[in-house]
Homo-oligomer: A and B are copies of this chain.
Amino acid sequence: RLLSPSHESGSNGDDLTDLTAGKSIYMVSDGTGWTAEHSVNAALGQFDYCLVDRACPVNTHLFSGIDDVERLMEIVKQAAKEGALLVYTLADHSMAETARQACELWGVTSTDILGPITEAIASHLGVSPSGLPRWAPGRKNSLNEEYFRRIEAIEFTIKQDDGALPENLLKADIVLTGVSRTGKTPLSIYLSQKGYKVANVPIVMNVGLPRSLFEVDPEKVFALTINPVVLQTIRRARAKSLGFDDEIRSNYSEMDYVKEELEFASKIFLRNPIWPVIEVTGKAIEETAAVVLRLYHDRKNRCSMPRISKRY
């Protein structure tokens, strides 16, 4: 097996010290590659148990913007050398077919991620796929209403962060509240990228909440809670990274204080029973986001099965 001498790993670019230790997955797209990456990540979740302890380490390699046969062939050959699995999303039918055949020829196992779902949709709609990749000249411009709405939601949400402008809670689609380090900020940002204007209001022991929190439609408020032991762990990591001195740290991340503050928050939540209380312990940001959005849409859509619907 041939490996190129130096790669980098992780999104922050650390060097891979021992690439030969892992099996490779090549992801090839004529577009951004994010679809292939997302699918591979979800599938890798099924192997968490052995990725974690390094019994089966995996290296993924993302090749984006691959829209000519020459580069495609180079990648397939390199995949063959490295003994990699190759997954691809190629809109142009002949490119996808070339990938499949080249992989067969070079003995590379391959999986088409876009093809099957595109074919299913094509026969469902009774029309043919365009075969045009993201960056093809004939493609539709992205400056539509949706684009502007998303940008506005992101900008609104950044400005609102940490209760900065409480009078604007009224303009938000979703209002998050909870004690420090329940993940309000990253959750807000995640939701804003899906087009929701989000405001968040921190709860601090013995500090009053902005009156506007009780003036907004309570159906758009979501309360976050977390296990105290986990919260302490997160706060300790936070205090360390911020370089808090010992005294502040003890107040912020000591168990008595953490528990008292969570109880303080619980009492507020009990007095506002319409706010759903969402447990964030052990959840990734996108998981909490899914829970929030399911509840949000259910409330607007009481008569049908819980779902999030969109029109295209």
Contacts and interface: CB of A to CB of B under 8 A. Distances in A.
16 contacts: A8-B301, A10-B195, A12-B149, A13-B297, A16-B311, A23-B124, A34-B38, A38-B38, A40-B121, A43-B114, A43-B118, A49-B130, A59-B309, A85-B124, A142-B287, A158-B158
Contacts of A287: 31-32, 134-135, 142
Interface string A47-81: 11111100111111111110000000011001000
The 8 residue pairs across chains A and B that have the minimum distance between CB atoms: A32-B290, A4-B304, A46-B129, A11-B195, A9-B311, A85-B124, A35-B42, A58-B312
- For chain A, the bracket of interface size reads 35 or more
Interface in A132-156: 132, 134-135, 139-143, 146-152, 154-155
A117 B40 contact: yes
A132 to B, nearest CB: 8
Nearest to A78: B305
State the copy count for this chain: 2
A63 B188 CA distance: 22
Contacts of A48: 130, 139-140
Contacts of A55: 127
A310 B59 contact: yes
Contact of A143 (B4, B45, B234): B234
Nearest to A33: B290
Contacts of A210: none
A272 interface: no
Contacts of A148: 237, 241
Given A60-B309, A148-B241, 11 more contacts: A8-B297, A40-B117, A42-B114, A43-B117, A51-B312, A56-B125, A56-B127, A58-B125, A62-B309, A116-B116, A154-B186
